Amino acid sequence: MTHKPIRKAVFPVAGLGTRFLPATKSMPKEMLPINDRPLIQHVVEEARKAGIEEFIFVTGRQKEMLEEHFDFQPELEQTLESRGKNDMVAKVRASEMKAGQLFLTRQPKPLGLGHAIWCAKKLIGDEPFAILLPDDLVLHDQGCLSQMVDTYNEKGGNVIAVKEVPRADTSKYGIVDIGAVEGNITEVKGLVEKPSPEDAPSTLSVVGRYILQPDVLDHLAAFETGAGNEIQLTDSMAKMIGDRAFHGLKFAGQHYDCGSRLGFIEANIAYGLADTEIGDNVRDILKNYS
């Protein structure tokens, strides 16, 4: 059985990045660097690798730098070429979006992740789509979303990325009520947003990668608030369970929560170590702090 291809991806990038103040006072947190490129570029490259053709940014105020980063920069390229820095030219061009690929819409008020996705409704249209949260990085050659697309092509319906967390931390995440398990693929029987450890149906948490059917937009349109008095994506996803296939994928690769300072630092170390140009030097530096 064939399923509609996943061509579009939504990137919620309207957040204020308050955990990183004052660094994010005038710069979007998504532009903070992980090794040699900004956080948002890592996530966009993961989406490209998964076959995404249209990139939808849900932005807010003072986020113009995100759009500029993916734009054509002729003066910069000409300067680099004149200096013979062809390797740098290649890196700059790798960050550019082709015409007709990048779309932007605004989330005027911070009403929650679910509201941010609803703001992209007209750009998503009536087809399945991916969501990538830039705070979440997964270090893996294939990429997390590409693995999820493989699962979607096999199973159809909705697919979310999941991983185990300590039970004491379930109140920080959306948690899965587990159904049948087939290897690294788990049937999703239910979803609970940020349950207390004693009420959590499992310790399998949702990570910031989703492949969803457009039905979720109809549920989000009700603007029902949940945990934190926000419009939660998890609550609307839960309403789709039972209508069609819904699975969680335990992806391969190491996940880093770059929304926290410690996670951000850990990701920089990991990506630095994985960099063939500087990896050995990073190891030598770390020895000084062991």
Q: Is 247 helix (H, G, I), strand (E, B) or coil?
A: strand
Give the per-residue pLDDT at 169: 92
Beta strands 174-182 and 185-193, pairing class: antiparallel
Say which residues have a Cβ less than 8 Å from residue 57's Cβ, sequence separation at least 6.
Answer: 11, 13, 63, 66, 67, 102, 103, 104, 105
In the chain, % of residues over pLDDT 90: 68
Provide the pLDDT for residue 8: 97
Q: How confident is the model at residue 276 (pLDDT cuts 50, 70, 90)?
A: very high
Query: What is the three-state SS of 144-202?
Result: HHHHHHHHHHHHCCEEEEEEECCHHHHHHCEEEEEEEEECCEEEEEEEEECCCCCCCCC
What's the average model confidence in pLDDT over 24-32?
90
In eight-state DSSP terms, residue 244 is B
Instruction: Supply the DSSP symbol for 29.
Output: G
pLDDT at 172 > cutoff 80: yes
Of 91, 209, 206, nearest to 143 by C-alpha is 209
- Token representation of residue 94: 């790798």
User: Of residues 223 and 52, which shows the higher confidence score?
Assistant: 52
Query: Which has the closest alpha carbon to 237: 171, 159, 180?
Result: 159
pLDDT value, residue 98: 87
The mean pLDDT of the chain is 92
Tens-place pLDDT, residues 84-108: 888 888 888 888 888 899 999 999 8
User: Could you tell me the residue ranges of all domains in the chain?
Assistant: 8-287
pLDDT at 159: 97
pLDDT digits (tens, 9 = 90+) for 45-81: 999 999 999 999 999 888 888 888 888 888 888 898 8
Q: What is the pLDDT of residues 178-199, one digit of tens each?
A: 999 999 999 999 998 889 999 9
* 8-287 is classed CATH 3.90.550.10: yes
